[in-house]
A and B are shown apart, each in its own frame.
Chain A
Amino acid sequence: MADVKELRKKYTPDMQSEIGESDTFPDKIKRMFRQNKLAVFSFFVILFIIFAAIFAPLVAPFDPYTQSLKDRLASPNSMHLLGTDELGRDVLSRIIYGTRISLVIGLVPTIISMVIGTILGLISGFYGKTVDFIIMRAADIMLAFPSLLLAMVVMYTMGGGLVNIFIALSLVNWAGTARIVRAETLSLKEKEYVEAARSIGVKDIVIMIRHILPNCLPSLIVLFTLNIPSAILSESSLSFLGVGAQPPSASWGLMVVKAKKYLFSQPWLSLAPSIAIMIVVLAFNFLGDGLRDVLDPYLKEQ
C-alpha cells in the first residue's frame, strides 16, 4: 500500500489534490479581456473620454464659449480642426467640453435611478404580497410611458436646463432595475441559506444586503453599463427638441439642433457632435455586451 502512494507521488504529483477550476468574478473579467477584443477596446475608448472630460481645459485648443463672428461657419481647417459653428466657436473644443456633460448625465442619473430601483426591487421581491403589488404596478406605470414623452412632460413643468434633466432622468428610470432586482430576489429568497439566516433571527435588512444584494451585482453591473448610453441618448434627444440643455451649453444634442439650419451647407456641424454621441454610446454598448456575456446568463433572457 505504501508503495502505491510513493509511486503516485513520484509519477503523478499534480494529480494528488482535488482542486477544481474556480470561476470567480476577477476570473470572469479576465476572460472577457482575453476573448472580447471589442469590449476591451471600448473600455479604453471610455477611459480616453473620461480623460478628455477631466482635462478638457488642457486638451481643447480653444475656449468653447468664445465667439468670433468673423470666423463663423468656417470649414475644417488647420486652425479649427472641425471648423467653427454659427457663432464662430471652435467645434472641436465644444465637443471636448461636451464630454463632461455627456458623462455626468450618463453616470449620475443612472446611479441614482438604479439605487432607487434596487431598493424598491429588493423590498418588492423580499416582502411580496401587497407591497410587491403596489411597487410593481408603479413600475408598470413608469414603463408604460414612452420614455421621451415622459421626460418632455417633466421638462415642460420644470423648465429646461441640465440640472432639470438630471432630476428628470434620475426619477424616471428606476422601473427596469426594480423589475430585475425583484426577479433575482424572488429566486434567491427561496434558497436554503436565506431560510437558514431567517430562522436564526437575522434581521431582514441584513439578509437583503449581505445575501441577496451581492448575487444581484453581476446583473446590476451589466445594467449599469447599458443604462448609461440610454441616459446620454435621452439628454441629447431632449436637447435636440429644445427642452433640454440651453445655449450656450456645449451639449452635443444642442449642437446638433443649432446646426440643423446649416445641414446642407455645412454638414459637419451636425455630423461631428452626432458622431461623438454615437461613439460614446457604442463604446458603452460594446462594453456592456461583453460584460453581459461573461457575467450574467440571467440577463440574457431579458
Chain B
Amino acid sequence: MNSLNVIKKILKRILISIPVLIGVVLIIFIMLRVVPGDPVTTMMGEHVNQTVIDKISREMGLDQPLYIQFFKYVGDALHGDLGTSYRLNRNVTQIILDAFPNTVVLSLCAAVVAWIIGISAGIVSAVHQNKLLDRLFMGGALVGVSMPVFMIALVLQYAFAFKLKWFPISGYGSAASMVLPSIVLGWNSAGSIARMTRSNLLGVMQEDYIRTARAKGLRQNAVMVHHALKNAMLPVITMMALQISSLLSGAVITESVFGIPGIGRLAVNAIENRDMPLLQGTVIFTTILVILGNLVADLLYSVLDPRIREGE
C-alpha cells in the first residue's frame, strides 16, 4: 500500500472541506441576521418597544458589525461555545449535546433497518431480474420513497400503536419505543438503498470480468459473491454517506411526531419559540456532521478501492 499516496489524498480532501465548513457557518449566519427584518424583532415579535430591542441587541452582540460577530462566533465555536439560548437561558452547546445522542441512537437504528432491508432487497431483485420478485420489490421501494415521512409516521402510529397497541404511541426510553420511529425514519432510505443496490449489482453483472469468472468455471452464486458483490458494494459506501443528510432531515419530522427529544425536535422548537441562537447552533452542528460523514465515506472509499489506493 502506497502510504504516502493515501496520506496525500486524505489531506487534500480535508483541505477542500475547510472552505465548505466556513461557507456553511457564514451562510447560516447571514441568513439569520441579514435577511428581511431585524433579528431581534423576529425573535421577540412586532410589539416590543425599542429600549427592549436595544438591550437585547447589546446582550446578544447583535449591534456589532457583521464581521466582528462572525469571527467572535467562530472563535467561540472552536472552543466549543455556540452561544446562549435566550429563551431557555442555557448554553446552546449544552442543549445540543443533551439532545444529540438521542438523534444518534434513532439514526443508527434507522440506518441498520434501512441497510439490512435495502441491501437484501436490492440483491434479491438483481438476482431475479425482471421476474415477479424483482418487480414487486422495486415497486415497493418506489412507493416507499414516494411517501412523505409524516405519512409513514402517522400510518404506523395509527396501525401499530393505536389499533394493535404493540408499541407506545410516543415517548422515548424503552426499546419498544424505538421500533416505530426507526422504521419510519429508515423507510425512505431503505427504498433508495434497495434501488441503488440493484442497479449497481446489475451494472456490475454486465461487466466483462464477470464473463471471465464464469468462463473459468465458477458457478453463478460464487461469481455473485466473490466478484460482483465486491465491486458493487464499493459505491454502497458512498451511498450510505449520502443517506446521512436525508436521515437528519427525516429525523426532524420523526422526532416531532413521536416526541423524541433529539436535535430535529430541537430545531422545530427553536423555530416555534423564535430562538435564534438555538436554531443557528442546531443547523450548523447538524451540517458539520454531514460534512464530516461525507469526508469519512470518501476516505473509506479511497482506502478500500485498490485502484485509488495503489494509484494509477
Contact = CB atoms under 8 A, between A and B. Distances in A.
B272 A144 contact: no
Interface residue SS majority, chain B: helix
Contact of A274 (B37, B148, B199, B248): B148
B1 interface: no
Contact of B149 (A140, A155, A229, A237): A237
A264 B246 contact: no
A157 B23 contact: no
Contacts of A281: 146-148
Interface stretch (B3-11, B49-57, B153-161, B179-187): B153-161
A145 B142 contact: no
Interface of B: 16, 19-20, 23-24, 27-28, 31-32, 35-37, 42, 142-143, 145-151, 154-155, 157-158, 162, 199, 203, 245-246, 248-250, 252-253, 256-257, 267-268, 271-272, 274, 279, 282-283, 286-287, 290-291, 294
B81 to A, nearest CB: 21
A115 B199 CA distance: 29
Contacts of A154: 31, 35
B143 A241 contact: no
Which of A150, A154, A275 has the largest count of B CB atoms less than 10 A from its CB? A150
Contacts of A243: 271
Interface string A226-262: 0001000100110011110000000001001100100
Interface in A268-302: 270-271, 274-275, 277-278, 281-282, 285-286, 289, 300
Given A257-B150, A281-B148, 17 more contacts: A145-B287, A146-B246, A146-B252, A146-B287, A148-B250, A149-B248, A152-B279, A152-B283, A156-B274, A157-B35, A157-B37, A233-B148, A240-B148, A263-B162, A271-B155, A274-B148, A281-B147
A242 B146 contact: no
A237 B148 CA distance: 7
Given A144-B290, A241-B268, A267-B158, A157 B32 contact: yes
A192 B142 CA distance: 40
B42 A153 contact: no
A282 B158 contact: no
A285 B148 CA distance: 13
B150 A157 contact: no
B286 A149 contact: yes
Contacts of B42: 156-157
A141 interface: yes
Contacts of A140: 16, 20, 23
A137 B267 contact: no
A149 B283 contact: yes
A156 B42 CA distance: 8
A149 B287 contact: yes
Contact of B286 (A146, A156, A240, A275): A146
B277 to A, nearest CB: 12
Nearest to B139: A38
Contacts, number: 142
Nearest to B271: A156
B145 A285 contact: yes
Nearest to A242: B272
A237 B286 contact: no
B291 A144 contact: yes
Given A138-B23, A141-B20, A237-B253, A153 B291 contact: no
**Top 6 A-B residue pairs of the complex, sorted by shortest distance between their CB atoms:** A148-B249, A274-B151, A141-B23, A282-B146, A281-B146, A146-B249
A147 interface: yes
Given A141-B27, A156-B271, A146 B150 contact: no
24 contacts: A143-B245, A144-B294, A146-B290, A149-B282, A149-B287, A153-B28, A156-B32, A156-B42, A156-B271, A157-B31, A158-B35, A158-B36, A159-B37, A236-B148, A236-B150, A237-B148, A240-B148, A243-B271, A256-B154, A264-B158, A274-B148, A278-B147, A300-B199, A300-B203
A113 B250 CA distance: 22
Interface in A63-116: none
A146 B248 CA distance: 6
B138 to A, nearest CB: 9
Which of A145, A154, A156, A264 has the largest count of B CB atoms less than 10 A from its CB? A156
Contacts of A263: 154, 157-158, 162
